[in-house]
């Protein structure tokens, strides 16, 4: 067995930092090591300075070793097919400080995540500390939320200020697709073309490798998310920018025309309502509450055999709760939480409950779970931006968006497999999702002309 030198965390501590050019050489060597590991159909799963060891105690020694494969996993099993994408609420594994955002969100890890962890490791070697060091909560869930939020909101140029070669590498790593093969040669070239060049020349060089795509920019943005289902022609009405005092008037008018509320949302203190003739509801009640969720009123309506079918919260802390008869629910529970209640949702999914409604208010989450015989399987895509890649993969696997909600920090998309008889007339399972900065009334009308109707709508964080 070879006797290796110190790990890079020890070197940094002993030298009070590592020169930029040395870190660039480390980057090139580490990328080559990961290329070799990945060529053997494995990912390391825990890339960090403590697992990168020198071949001797000389920090300028060109040999570098990656150790501790205890969390290594297959990305391909020799079949020629990449492992399947999945997201299970919770931490996928690794070291919190260096784990990828995907790991914090519970996604299946792939080659891109090793590169993202390497980027955080390089940032640690260059700087006194990482922006998220010292972010703790009372519970592990809170710590993961704070750290992953900080990572998701840190632009590549901010993490590596004045280091363009590292900025390019980090930007490349976090914008890779789940099963995309990294261009290791290109990654190494970011650093190789600058090794041996003095700092003043480095900083004045042109960027010859611009990113061709930007999936994660670190710039938060809020938008409307509208989900459409294809139905046979039906009557659907949309109201938006409705002040609270006018809600009863709009709801009563729709009720006269036998239109029941199917979705509600709030933005800037006003409300949006979707009402249509195809809900299958027999009767409906609603309550505008000065608190996020009116517990006593909800429990009273449960006693009257009404179940929550739509709910929304406002930035003022109010809520609009709609409860209906004639739906497929037989039991129901809900929770109000300051973070997305991953553990509670997971526990109830195992008890044969499924998420049927969600709402947010002032950063809080309300999640409603029901016993619903129309849903056979369910997964949740949770992210700091709209999870386009996950949604597309779930659609391809036969899932259907059944609920969506967002705070100003995160967005959750609930996707379900439905029994064929649970689909509305004319509904094929094919869906359309649109995002917009203002309520998309014109887009809604365009989609209705194509016989696509609003299934759910929300306003909140959708871009990063």
3-class SS of residue 419: coil
Annotated catalytic residues are 46
- CA-wise closest residue to 347 among 108, 90, 106: 90
Cα–Cα distances in angstroms (integers) from residue 114 to residues 56, 92, 170, 238, in the given order: 24, 13, 11, 46
CA separation for the pair 260, 256 (Å, rounded):
10
Complete DSSP assignment for 15-83? HTS--HHHHHHHHHHHHHHHHHHHHTTEE-S---GGGEEESSS-TT-S-EEE---TT-EESB-SSSSBP
- CA-wise closest residue to 382 among 433, 437, 339: 339
What are φ and ψ of residue 23, in 5° steps? -65, -35
CB atoms within 10 A of CB 378: 22
CA separation for the pair 318, 289 (Å, rounded):
6
């Amino acid at each position: 067995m070879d006797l290796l030198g110190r790990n890079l965390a020890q070197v940094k501590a002993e030298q009070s930092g590592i020169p930029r050019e040395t870190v660039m050489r480390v980057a090139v060597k580490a990328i080559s090591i990961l290329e070799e590991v990945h060529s053997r159909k494995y990912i390391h799963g825990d890339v960090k300075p403590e697992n990168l060891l020198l071949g001797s105690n000389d920090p300028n020694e060109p040999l570098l070793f990656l150790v501790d494969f205890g969390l290594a996993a297959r990305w391909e099993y020799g079949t020629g097919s990449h492992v399947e994408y999945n997201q299970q609420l919770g931490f996928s594994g690794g070291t919190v400080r260096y784990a990828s955002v995907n790991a914090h969100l519970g996604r299946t890890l792939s080659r891109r995540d090793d590169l993202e962890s390497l980027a955080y490791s390089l940032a640690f070697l260059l700087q006194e500390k990482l922006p998220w060091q010292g972010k703790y909560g009372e519970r592990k869930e809170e710590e993961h939320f704070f750290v992953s939020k900080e990572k998701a909101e840190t632009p590549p140029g901010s993490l590596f200020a004045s280091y363009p070669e590292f900025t390019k590498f980090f930007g490349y790593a976090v914008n890779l697709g789940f099963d995309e093969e990294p261009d290791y040669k290109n990654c190494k070239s970011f650093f190789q073309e600058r090794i041996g060049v003095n700092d003043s020349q480095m900083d004045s060089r042109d960027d010859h490798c611009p990113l061709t795509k930007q999936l994660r920019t670190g710039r938060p943005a809020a938008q409307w998310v509208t989900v459409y289902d294809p139905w046979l022609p039906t009557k659907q009405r949309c109201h938006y920018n409705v002040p609270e005092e006018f809600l009863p008037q709009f709801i009563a008018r729709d009720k006269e025309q036998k239109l029941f509320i199917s979705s509600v949302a709030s933005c800037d203190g006003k409300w949006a309502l979707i009402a249509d003739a195809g809900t299958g509801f027999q009767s409906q009640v609603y309550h505008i509450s000065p608190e996020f969720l009116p517990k006593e009123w909800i429990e009273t309506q449960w006693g009257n055999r009404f179940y929550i079918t739509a709910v929304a919260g406002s930035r003022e802390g109010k809520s609009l709760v709609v409860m209906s008869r004639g739906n497929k629910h037989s039991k129901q529970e809900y929770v109000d939480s300051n973070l997305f209640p991953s553990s509670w949702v997971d526990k109830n999914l195992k008890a044969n409950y499924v998420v049927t409604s969600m709402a947010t208010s002032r950063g809080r989450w309300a999640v409603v779970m029901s016993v619903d015989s129309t849903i056979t399987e369910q997964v949740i895509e949770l992210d700091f931006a709209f999870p386009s890649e996950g949604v597309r993969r779930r659609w391809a696997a036969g899932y259907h968006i059944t609920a969506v909600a967002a705070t100003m920090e995160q967005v959750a998309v609930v996707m379900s497999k439905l029994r064929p008889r649970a689909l509305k007339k004319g509904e094929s399972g094919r869906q359309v999702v649109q995002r917009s900065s203002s309520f998309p009334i014109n887009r809604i009308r365009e989609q209705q002309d194509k016989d696509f109707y609003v299934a759910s709508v929300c306003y909140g964080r959708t871009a990063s």
